Amino acid sequence: MRVLQRFYLVEVLSGVALTAAHFFRNMGAHGRRALGQKSARGAVTIQYPEERRPYSPRLRSLHRLVRREDGSPRCVACMMCETVCPAHCIYIVATEHPNPEIEKVPARFDIDIGKCVFCGYCVEACPEDAIRMDTGILEFASYSRRGMIYTQEMLLSLEPAGPDGRPQSPIPIPADRQP
Amino acid sequence: MSALADLGIVFGRVAFAMLFVVNTAALLGWVERKQSAIMQDRIGANRASILGFRVLGLFHPIADAIKMLTKEDFRPARADRVLFALAPFVSVFFGLVAFASIPFGDTLRVAGREVPLQAVTLNVGVLYVFAMLSLGVYGVMMAGWSSANNYALLGGQRAAALMISAEIAIGASIMGVVMVYGSLDLMDIVRGQGALLFGWIPAWGIVTQPLAFVLFVTAGIAATKRIPFDTPEGESEIIGYFVEYSGMKFGMFLMADLVETTVIAGLTTSLFLGGWQVPYLVAEGFRFPWGAALALPHLLVVLLQVGAFVTKVSAMIFFMMLVRWTLPRFRYDQAMRLGWLGLFPLSILNIVLTGLLLLLWGARA
């Protein structure tokens, strides 16, 4: 170390000068913003629940089940997704479809989000393109394990995310949090 | 009636000093969060709201206080009952009373009375503040000792060691100031700083005692036990003397640190930054070295002086916060080396140099 550095005081003051420069620059930006100049930003913070950064279109978020044109689920209960799921979080009960051209339809289609690892294999495996992970919904905290289970009706009600990746449909409220 | 008025004046003086410290300390919790956030390009705590009003997060100290008051007050089974409960109070108490003899304004003349703007007029004010600051460490040591926790004990001992190494530097660096202004009374020291050097430089302590100023501020930051001298706490290694505390008792330790920051800032202001002195402001108004003069009413002068004191203390606190959020923590041995091999010899050198210069220039006092 140089003698000046060993003396420490000069180095401390240069460090303090750096942080003080940040302080006054940011304060200036905050002040200009308060006076109406919206482009001035004194912080890099994104204030999360109100502000969000745009999500990538490739983001794997909460699943949704796609509907046919008549509104019935596109899923044919082939069990491909249930089989491929490494976390065993999909539970399907199949039943007959009223239309004889379609073999089966799920009576129950539950996903336990608490177990899901968001690998996207179910989307890859689906032969009918009936399950997608494009809702943009990432907030599914719950007070109970029961509340992490999303039923067929909830999954069918979801819409794909908008162009900026923000969720279009409201986050479904699981059964244990229904008012 | 006159006795009652005197009592009221004394009460007012004490209340001003007391409320100044308590409120500043409470506000410092907010200042600390916001200042560090702005220094680090963040926004800082801004979510606490009353009826939807957030006011820059100013309600966070209130929210903190409510949180701490309603938390469980836990005491370890083997802790010393009395000392464990007493420690946070001792810590805060000595920090609060230390401010008593720091003057926040010149003598106020009101209704035929002369009121010194200082909670307690003491002719050994410097020694008093110094003594109260040193006593503050007893609370920390008691906390460390009574917690029945090895890490707390380590923290308490580190606090004691740090305090001794810092206090000696504080005491020795103050000696230079005392020699220059020839008094231990803080009010006299501040009055002495109203003189002008060479006719135009205010004779503030920072001008007459630059080395002592650096030493005092360094040792003063160490005395507050905050980063970069937070070895007693050392949250990443031993968590420190208050590891067993919860609720408002823990909050009182935090508050004690902030109170001490205020006291050190007040002391630095009084000793080195001219206290309540406004440059070129005398009792009758402004008198500039180039001959111009501006007469001001007495009340306005006193108001300006109190304002100057508050401004200087705030600036000093800002600087201490700046240091606290810039530097990393000294290792324990580094803090000791800085105290004993750096600050202490330098402050002795400062005393010798000051004495030599005073001898050569003729004693000013």
Q: B157: which residues sit within 8 A by CB, 6+ positions away?
A: B141, B144
Q: Which residues of B touch A19 (CB under 8 A)?
A: 39, 322, 325-326
Nearest CA in chain A to B41: A43
pLDDT for B365 equals 44
Residue A42 has pLDDT above 60, yes or no: yes
Residue B83 lies in a domain: yes
From chain A, pick out residues whose CB is under 8 angstroms from the CB of B323: 12, 16
Q: Is the peptide bond before B228 cis (omega within 30 degrees of 0)?
A: yes
Q: How confident is the model at residue B196 (pLDDT cuts 50, 70, 90)?
A: confident
B2 belongs to a structural domain:
no
On the question of pLDDT at B364 being above 70, the answer is: no
Q: Is B78 helix (H, G, I), strand (E, B) or coil?
A: coil
Closest Cβ–Cβ partner in A8, A19, A45 for B39: A19
Inter-chain CB pairs, A–B, below 8 Å: 44
B138 domain residue, yes or no: yes
Based on the structure, what is the number of domains in chain B?
1
Distance CA B330, CA A43 (A): 29
Q: How confident is the model at residue A82 (pLDDT cuts 50, 70, 90)?
A: very high
Residue B20 lies in a domain: no
Contact A12 B323 (CB under 8 A): yes
Asked if A27's CB is within 8 angstroms of B41's CB, the reply is no
User: B327 to chain A: which residues are within 8 Å by CB?
Assistant: 12, 15
Per the structure block, which two tokens stand in for B204? 């503030």
Mean pLDDT of chain B: 87
Give the list of residues 6+ apart from residue B170 with CB closer than 8 angstroms, or none. Answer: B130, B133, B216, B219, B220, B223
Number of helices and strands (H, E) in chain B? 12, 7
Share of chain A above pLDDT 70, in %: 95
Angle between helix B81-98 and helix B125-146 axes, rounded to 10 deg? 160
For the entire predicted model, the pTM comes to: 0.84
Tell me which of B326, B327, B334, B346 to substitute to probe the interface with A (most A C-beta atoms closer than 10 Å).
Answer: B326
Tokens for A19, please give them: 């942080």
Cα B139 to Cα B102, B142, B246, distances in angstroms: 22, 5, 16
Give the residue with greater pLDDT, B203 vs A66: A66
For residues B255 and B25, the answer to whether their CB atoms sit within 8 Å is yes
Q: Residue B32 domain-assigned?
A: no
- What does R_g of chain A's alpha carbons equal in angstroms? 26
Q: Got the DSSP string for B211-269?
A: HHHHHHHHHHHHHTT-TTS-TTT-TTTT--TTTT--HHHHHHHHHHHHHHHHHHHHHHH
pLDDT score at A177 = 59
Q: Which of residues 30-49 of A touch B (CB under 8 A)?
A: 30, 42-45, 47
Question: Over the Cα atoms of chain B, what is R_g?
Answer: 22
Question: Which candidate from A8, A26, A47 shows the least CB-CB separation from B38?
Answer: A26
CB contact under 8 A, A19 and B322: yes
Name the band, by pLDDT with cuts 50, 70 and 90, for residue B309. Answer: very high
* Residue of A23, A26, A47 to mutate when probing chain B, most B C-beta within 10 A: A23
Looking at residue A176, its pLDDT comes to: 60
Do residues B36 and B321 make contact, with C-beta atoms less than 8 angstroms apart?
yes
pLDDT top residue among B112 and B25: B25
A84-101 tens-digit pLDDT: 999 999 999 999 988 888
The percent of residues above 70 in pLDDT, for chain B, comes to 99
CA nearest to B39, candidates B318, B248, B236, B275: B318
B199 membership: H or E segment, kind and range? none
| DSSP-derived secondary structure for chain A | --HHHHH-HHHHHHHHHHHHHHHHHHHHHHHHHHTT-TT--S-----TTT--PPPPTT---S-EEPB-TTSSBS-----HHHHH-TT--EEEEEEE-SSTTS-EEEEEEEEETTT-----HHHHH-TT--EE--S-------SSSGGGEEPHHHHHT-----TTS--SSPPPPPGGG--
Q: How far is B43 from chain A (nearest CA, A)?
A: 6
In this structure, how many other beta carbons lie within 10 angstroms of the beta carbon of residue B32?
20
Is B91 a member of any domain? yes
The nearest CA of chain B is from the CA of A3 a distance in Å of 14
> Per-residue pLDDT tens for A44-79?
888 887 888 888 888 899 999 999 888 889 999 999
pLDDT on residue B113: 78
Give, rounded to a whole angstrom, the gap between the first and last alpha carbons of chain B: 40
Q: Which residues of A touch B37 (CB under 8 A)?
A: 43
Strand partners of residue A93: A108
What confidence category does residue A125 fall into, taking pLDDT thresholds of 50, 70 and 90?
very high
Mean pLDDT of chain A, nearest integer: 87
**What region does A72 belong to: left with phi over 0, alpha with psi -120 to 50, or beta?**
beta
Domain holding B275, by residue range, is 70-364
| Interface membership of A14 toward B (CB under 8 Å) | no
Q: Which residues of A touch B322 (CB under 8 A)?
A: 16, 19-20, 23
CB contact under 8 A, B322 and A20: yes
Q: Chain B within 8 Å of A12 (Cβ-Cβ)? A: yes
Smallest Cβ–Cβ distance between A15 and the set B319, B326, B338 belongs to B326
**CB distance from A27 to chain B under 8 Å?**
yes
Residue B26 near residue B312 (C-beta atoms within 8 A): no
pLDDT tens, position by position, B246-260: 888 999 988 888 999
Strand-strand pairing, A104-112 and A64-65: unpaired
Amino acid in the structure at residue B245: Y
In this structure, are strands A149-150 and A104-112 parallel, antiparallel, or unpaired? antiparallel
Coil, strand, or helix at residue B149? coil
Residue A178 amino acid letter: Q
Q: Report the Cα B305 to chain-centroid distance in Å.
A: 19
Best A26, A32, A33 residue to mutate vs chain B (most B CBs within 10 Å) = A26
Q: Residue A159 in contact with residue A132, Cβ under 8 Å?
A: no
Q: How many CB atoms lie within 10 A of CB A36?
A: 7
Q: Which residue of B has its CA nearest to A28?
A: B38
B152-164 average pLDDT score? 89
Q: Is B102 within a domain?
A: yes
> What is the structure's pLDDT at B12?
84
Give strand pairing partners of A131. Answer: A65
Q: Using CB atoms, pick whichever of A12, A20, A45 lies closest to residue B43.
A: A45
In a domain, B167, yes or no: yes
Residue contact A22–B39, C-beta within 8 A: yes
